[in-house]
Structure 1
Amino acid sequence: MMRLQQSPVSKQRGAALIIVLFIVALAAVIAAEMATNLMIQVQRAQNIQTHQQAKWYSYGAEELVKKILIDSKNKDPDKVHLGQPWALEETPFPVDHGTLSGKVTDLQACLNLNAMRAPKAQNATRNDTNPAHKAFLELLNNIEDLPSDESEESLADSVFDWLDADSSTHRSGAEEDEYMSLRTPYLTANNYFASVSELRVIRGFNPLVMEKILPYVCVIPGSEELKINVNTILPEQALLLSALIEGLSESDAQGIISSRPEKGYDKVEDFLTEATNQGAQNINQVTDLFTVNSDYFKLRAKAMFDDRLFTMTSIIQIKQGQASILARKFGGVQ
C-alpha cells in the first residue's frame, strides 16, 4: 500500500501556522495583562486622589476648629466651659461628594500621663512621687475589677518607670532590663508619651485594662502640666475627680459635676467650696491641680468622600491668641 508523503512546503506552512497562532495567543495574554494593570493603576490613582481630597477636607475642619477655639478664648479669656461653640455635639456637615464632621474634647478634662514625669517636691524622698502618679494610682484603685495580672501599684510604677529619665526600677515598676528579656526585646522610652496607645507596650496594660482607663487619661505631647478643668470634666469621669480629692466619693463627684452652672464656675474657689460641702478633705493640698481654663484640645475629624472614610486626630494648643498643632495622627481610634 502506497503512503502519501507531505512535501517540505506543506510542513513549513503547518509550522508557520502554529507559530502564528502562538504569537496571537501570546499577544492576547499580554494585552489582557496590560489592560488589567492599566485598570489597577487607574483605580490606584483614583484611590490616592480620593484619599488626598478627604485629607484636605480634614485639614479644613482643623482650620475651622482653630478659629472657633480662638474666638471662644477671645470672648471669654478667663474660663473654658461646655457651653462654648467648640463643645457642640458632632454633626455631619455636607461637602462635595461626601460629609465632614468633627468632635473637640478638652485635654485638661483628663489625667495627662506625661505629668507623671514632672519633678518631685524638693523635700520628697526617693520613693515619693508627684501628684500625677498618686492620682493615677488612686484612679486604678478605684476602678472595679481591673483585668490585669499586675497590681494597681505595679501598673502605676511601671508607667512612672517608662517616663522617668533614669533606668532604676521604682518600687514595683518595670525598667528596660525586664523588657529586654522578652522574646521581642525593646527599651523603655525614658521620655514623654506621644500617644495614650503607648501604654500597650508597658507591662500589665492589656486591651481590657486600656478599655477601662481610657475615659480618664490622655496625653499632652511634651507637657508635664496637670491642671484639671472643673468646667469641662464630664459626669462619666467622676471617678477621676474622686481620685484627685481625698474624701470625695464617685457619687459626690458626679453630684458636683451635674450641679455645675451652665457656663461653668467663674473661679476655682467656687468649685473647691462645693467640693468641701460634699465632704472633700485636705482640699488645700490639691488646689493647684484644678483650673477653670484650658489651653489644650483634641480634634477628632472624620471626612467621608466617595464612600471612603478618612480620620485625623489633631492636638491643638491655644496660647496668646494663636493656635498651634502639637501633633497629628491619621487613622486609628484615638
Structure 2
Amino acid sequence: MNRGQSDERGAALLSVLLLVAVMAVIAATALDRLTLATRIAGSAATVDQGRAYSFAAEQIALRRVADLVGRDPAKLTLAGDWLGRDFTLPLPNGQGTARLTDASNCFNLNSLVAETIPGRFTQRPGGTGQFAELMTLLGVNTDEARMVAGATADWIDSDSVDGPLGAEDGVYRSLPGSYLPANRKMADISELRAVRGVTPKLYARLKPWICALPATDPVKLNINTLAPEQAPLVAMLLPGQLTVAEARAALAARPAGGYGSSVRFWESGPLARLDPPTDVAEQAGVTSRWLILKTDVTMGDGFLTSVSLIDANGGAPSAGQMPPVIVRRDWGETD
C-alpha cells in the first residue's frame, strides 16, 4: 500500500510539473506577442508622427516656393541660397531636415513622346536625339546610346510598331521571363531598367541625369540654377554643335542675378556663334516649374524619408497665377 501511494504521489507531482511547464510556455509566448504588438504599435505611432512632420515641412516649403516665385515669376535664380541647402526642422523629441532642389534640370524621360490627344503618345524625334546625345556625352558608345534612346521612346509611345532602333512587343516577348512595354508615361526612373539594352551599369551612370516628370513637354532647363558640372544637359540640346566645355563656360560666366532671358544666354561668350532653332533655344529657360522637396525625419530609433514633387505653377501655364502644389509624394529612398 505504501508503494502504491508513493507511485500516485509521483504521478501527481509529474502532472503538476508538466502543467506548470505548459503554463510557463503559454505565458512566455503571450508576453512575447504582447511585446511585439507594443513595438508595432509604437512604430506605427512613430511613422504617423513622422509623416505629420513631413506634411508640415511640405506646407513650409510651399510657402517658401511661393515667395521665390513671387519675387519674379519670369525668373528663378539662386538668390536666397535655397537650392540644395539643408534646412533644420525644429521637432520635439526628434530632428529633421528639408532640402529643395530643382527638378527641371534633368532629362525628363517622358519628353521622348508628345501627348497628341489625352492618353495617346507619339514619339518626339528631337527628344530621342537629345537623349542619345546626353548618353554619348556621358561616355556611352554612340550606337548603344541610339539604341537605348529608341527603345525608351518605344517603351512609352502608344503604338506597337518598332521605331528606328527601337523595341516593341515582339522583342520583349522573346526575352526570358517575357513581358510587354508599358506604352504609357513613366512614373519613376526605375522603369528604365526594364527597357531593352539598359544594363545595371548604364542605369547607374544615367540615374543622376534623368527624371520622370508628369508631363511630356520638351525638356526645359533652368540655366539660372544649373551648376557648371551639369553642362552636359545644355550640350545635349544641340547634338554635335555645342561642346560640354562651351556649355560649362557659359554657366560659369552666369551673371550674379542670373540670365534675364534665354536670348541673353545664347548670346553669351562661346555660345554667340550658334544659331539654335527657336524651339531648341527655348529649352534653355530661366525659370523652373518642377521642384523636389526631400524631408528626413528621425524620432528615436525611427527614420522616415519623403520625396515630394512640387509644381511651382500650381497647374497653371505659367508661374504666379496659382499657388504651388504637391503633385507626387514618395516615401522612403528612391531607387
TM over 0.5: yes
Map Cα deviations across residues 194-217 of structure 1 (whole Å, 9 max, x no partner): 111111111222222122222322
1:270 shift after superposition = 0.5
Q: Compare CA radii of gyration and give the structure with the larger one.
A: 1
Give the match for residue 190 of structure 1: 183
Distance in 1 of aligned mates of 2:271 and 2:233: 18
Post-superposition offset of 1:276: 5.7
Could you tell me which residue of structure 2 aligns to residue 332 of structure 1?
333
Q: Which residue of structure 2 lines up, in the alignment, with residue 66 of structure 1?
A: 62
Match of 1:152?
Answer: 145
Alignment equivalent of 2:253, drawn from 255, 259, 272? 259
Q: CA deviation at 1:88?
A: 5.2
Alpha carbons of 1:215 and 1:262: their partners in 2 closer, same or farther (altered >3 Å)? Answer: farther
Name the counterpart of 1:23.
Answer: 19
Aligned counterpart, 1:302: 296
Matching of residue 233 in structure 1 with residue 226 in structure 2: yes
Map 1:1-334 → 2, pairs under 5 A: 6-84=2-80, 86-87=82-83, 89-118=85-114, 129-145=124-140, 151-246=144-239, 247-274=241-268, 277=271, 279-284=273-278, 286-319=280-313, 320-333=321-334
**Counterpart of 2:86 in 1: which secondary structure?**
coil
Any idea what SS the aligned residue of 1:118 has?
strand
Alpha-carbon distance, 1:34 to partner:
1.2
Give the aligned residue type for 1:228.
L
How far has the Cα of 1:85 moved from its partner? 5.2
- Structure 2 distance, partners of 1:326, 1:301, is 16
Offset of 1:179 from its aligned partner? Answer: 1.8
Q: CA deviation at 1:46?
A: 1.3
Moved more, 59-68 or 318-327: 318-327
Cα 1:21–1:110 change in 2 (3 A) is same
Contact 1:245/1:280, CA 8 A, preserved across alignment:
no
Change (3 A) 1:326 1:87: same
Unaligned regions of 5+ residues in structure 2, if any? 117-121, 314-320
> Secondary structure in 1 aligned to 2:311?
strand
Aligned length: 322
CA contact (8 A) 1:114 1:193 kept: yes
Q: Give the structure 2 partner of residue 123 of structure 1.
A: none
SS of equivalent to 1:70: helix
What is the TM-score of this pair, normalised by structure 1? 0.88
Paired with 2:291 and 2:135, the residues of 1 have a C-alpha distance of: 24
Q: CA deviation at 1:187?
A: 1.7
Q: What letter matches 1:23 in structure 2?
A: L
Contact 1:272 1:283 survives alignment (8 Å) = no
Q: Is the 8 A contact 1:65 1:86 kept in 2?
A: no
Deviation at 1:285, TM superposition (A): 5.7
Measure the CA separation in 2 of the matches of 1:130 and 1:299.
32
CA distance in 1, matches of 2:175, 2:236: 33
Q: Measured at CA, do residues 109 and 173 of structure 1 come closer, stay the same or move farther in structure 2, by a change above 3 Å?
A: same
Q: What per-residue deviation string (whole Å, max 9, x for no partner) do you get for residues 24-62 of structure 1? A: 111111111111111111111111112222222111111
RMSD: 2.3
Change (3 A) 1:174 1:88: closer
Q: SS in structure 2 opposite 1:260?
A: coil
90-99 or 260-269, larger mean C-alpha shift: 90-99
TM-score, length-scaled by structure 2: 0.88
Stretch deviating more after TM superposition (194-203 or 128-137):
128-137
Cα 1:270–1:170, aligned 2, differ >3 Å: closer, same or farther? same
Supply the distance in 2 between the matched residues of 1:173 and 1:222 (Cα, whole angstroms).
Answer: 22
Structure 2 counterpart of 1:13, one-letter code? R
**Aligned equivalents of 2:140, 2:216: Cα separation in 1:** 31
- Kept in 2: contact 1:61–1:100 (CA 8 A): no
SS at match of 2:224: coil
Q: 3-state SS of the aligned residue for 1:40?
A: helix
- Deviations 1:132-151, CA, capped at 9 Å, x for gaps: 211101111222256x9x71
